[in-house]
């Protein structure tokens, strides 16, 4: 026997079936996570107001229970249904459930993945939707941008494959994917790693993104920055330093690229005309 006020009296492999009478309020064998079970109206002649979790809508909905032979997806109140199942923020499947029977929460500040294998941490609008979702991707940066579902307006960042940069977007709060970062820095660290080619920090935009340039568009760099032409577009960025190239010494740099380049040697004894030509080339 159990009761609505003491359902925990049943063992870990059972659940408290709340019937119309004390005689039908007993511990029944558990069938697993109640939030994944289908609606069961049961059998009998009773008309009991109950709530069940609808996986398709991701919400708790009312139904009439006949009193017998129902399943565990059967709650006395909407509050108890939402407390157990809650709004499902996961795009596919249900959040990971801990030993206490509740969805396991996670943290955006954790350096390690606090979720089990094959799960990822969905950062929602609050702790109730910040949970471990199934279907972790091995390459989150290749996922498309997903605004998700819901009524929230959360400022997030995603990695845009076409521009190879992290861009802002508004997340609706539920059903998104892993290409969803709370901060620009988090997005850049995950998807836009920069092998810094500068002596110092490269120039950034007002949004904090690294400012790239090119051999044909060096004027994009701000004052006191120059366009470092690297071996790849990722290392072709605006670096701090003297903008008068002819006044600085040779710097072979570091790395394994072996790029053929020219430099102006101020120590060469050349004719005034030749020196002028060299300076012009610089």
pLDDT category at 136 given cuts 50, 70, 90 is very high
Task: Give residues with Cβ within 8 angstroms of 267, minimum separation 6.
Answer: none
| H helix intervals, the chain | 78-84, 184-191, 272-281
Question: What band does 111 get if pLDDT is binned at 50, 70 and 90?
Answer: very low
d(CA 196, CA 228): 11
Report the alpha-carbon distance of residue 7 to residue 15 in Å, rounded.
Answer: 7
Q: Between these two residues, 75 and 79, which has the higher pLDDT value? A: 75
pLDDT at 8 over 80: no
> Percentage of the chain with pLDDT > 90?
45
User: Which candidate, 77, 209, 49, 182, places its Cα nearest to that of 125?
Assistant: 182
* Domain residue ranges in the chain: 7-84, 139-191
Q: pLDDT for 214-223, tens place per residue?
A: 888 878 899 9
Strand partners, 226: 239
Beta carbons of 32 and 49 less than 8 angstroms apart: no
pLDDT at 112 over 80: no
pLDDT at 281 over 60: no
pTM of the model: 0.54
pLDDT given at position 66: 98
Superfamily designation of domain 7-84: Pancreatic trypsin inhibitor Kunitz domain (4.10.410.10)
Lowest mean pLDDT among 171-180, 208-217, 262-271: 262-271
Which position has the token pair 């708790």? Answer: 60
Question: Does 160 have pLDDT greater than 50?
Answer: yes
Give the C-alpha separation, 4 to 259, whole Å.
76
pLDDT at residue 234, as a whole number: 78
Q: Are 95 and 128 in contact (CB under 8 A)?
A: no
Selection from 51-60, 91-100, 135-144, 253-262 with the highest mean pLDDT = 135-144
**What pLDDT sits at residue 225?**
93
Give how far Cα 172 sits from Cα of 154, 164, 177, 182, Å. 6, 24, 12, 13
| Count of C-beta atoms within a 10 Å radius of residue 141 | 17
If pLDDT is split at 50, 70 and 90, which confidence band does 40 have?
very high
Whether residue 189 has pLDDT greater than 70: yes
DSSP letter for each residue of 254-265:
SSS---------
**What is the rounded CA–CA span in Å between residue 216 and residue 237?**
13
d(CA 114, CA 177) in angstroms, rounded, equals 17
Under 8 Å between Cβ of 53 and 63:
no
pLDDT of residue 44: 96
- Evaluate whether 211 touches 221 at the Cβ level (below 8 Å): yes
Within this chain, domains 7-84 and 139-191 share the same CATH topology: yes
Q: Which fold has domain 139-191?
A: Factor Xa Inhibitor (4.10.410)
User: Tens digits of per-residue pLDDT, 248-279?
Assistant: 888 888 888 888 888 888 776 554 444 444 34
The helix (H) or strand (E) run that includes residue 157 is: strand 154-160
Q: Which residues pair with 212 in a beta bridge?
A: 237
Mean pLDDT score of the chain, rounded to an integer? 85
Mean pLDDT of 45-56: 93
User: Coil, strand, or helix at residue 182?
Assistant: coil
Residue 209, pLDDT above cutoff 80: no
């Amino acid at each position: 026997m159990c009761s609505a006020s003491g359902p925990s009296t049943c063992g870990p492999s059972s659940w408290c079936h709340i019937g119309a009478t004390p005689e039908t309020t007993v511990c029944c064998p558990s069938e697993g996570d109640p939030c994944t079970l289908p609606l069961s109206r049961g059998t009998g002649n009773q008309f009991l107001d109950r709530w069940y979790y609808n996986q398709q809508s991701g919400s708790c909905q009312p139904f009439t229970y006949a009193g017998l032979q129902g399943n565990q997806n059967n709650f006395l109140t909407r509050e108890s249904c939402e407390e157990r199942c809650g709004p499902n923020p996961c795009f596919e499947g249900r959040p990971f459930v801990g030993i206490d029977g509740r969805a396991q929460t996670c943290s955006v500040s954790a350096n390690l993945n606090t979720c089990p294998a094959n799960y990822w941490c969905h950062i929602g609008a609050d702790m109730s939707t910040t949970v471990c979702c199934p279907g972790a991707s091995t390459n989150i940066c290749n996922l498309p941008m997903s605004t998700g579902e819901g009524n929230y307006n959360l400022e997030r960042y995603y990695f845009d494959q076409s521009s190879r940069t992290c861009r802002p977007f508004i997340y609706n709060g539920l059903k998104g994917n892993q290409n969803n970062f709370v901060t620009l820095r988090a997005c850049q660290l995950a998807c836009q790693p920069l092998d810094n080619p500068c002596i110092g920090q490269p120039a950034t935009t007002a949004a904090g993104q690294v400012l790239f340039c090119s051999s044909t568009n060096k004027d994009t760099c701000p004052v006191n920055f120059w366009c470092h032409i690297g071996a790849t577009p990722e290392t072709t960025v605006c670096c701090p330093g003297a903008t008068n190239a002819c006044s600085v010494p040779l710097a072979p740099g570091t790395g394994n690229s072996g790029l053929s380049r020219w430099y102006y040697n101020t120590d060469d004894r050349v004719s005034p005309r030749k020196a002028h030509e060299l300076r012009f080339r610089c």
